[in-house]
Amino acid sequence: MVKKNSYVTKVDLYKTTQDIIDLIKSVRKELKDDISDLRKELKNDIVTFKDQILTEIIKLPDDMTIVQGWSDRMEDHEVRIEKLEKKTLSS
């Protein structure tokens, strides 16, 4: 049996090249869509995190006001506790 040589023609090469180009275009489109989706997700995550931080920051002045209003009692609480203990133990 004699094997016949086969050659690639210009048409075959062109078709194969076009198939490869179409495949590359398809992969590029999928990657572009995936990147777009990831950007949207990341943006949403960043906005959510920013909102959480801002919510906590907004609460800080109220917390500081409370602490400042009771600071004199909070600073000497140990002395006050000792006085109360002495009064209850001596009674």
Sequence letter at residue 54: L
Put simply, whether the predicted model's pTM sits higher than 0.85 gets the answer no
**Apex 42 CA angle, 57 and 24, nearest 5:** 165
For the stretch 52-87, pLDDT in tens is: 999 888 888 777 776 666 666 666 777 888 888 888
Where in the chain are the domains? 10-90
Distance of CA 28 to the CA centre of its chain: 26
* Three-state DSSP class for residue 83: helix
Q: Report the C-alpha dihedral over residues 53, 57, 58, 62, rounded to 10 degrees.
A: 140
For the stretch 20-56, pLDDT in tens is: 999 999 999 999 999 999 999 999 999 999 999 998 8
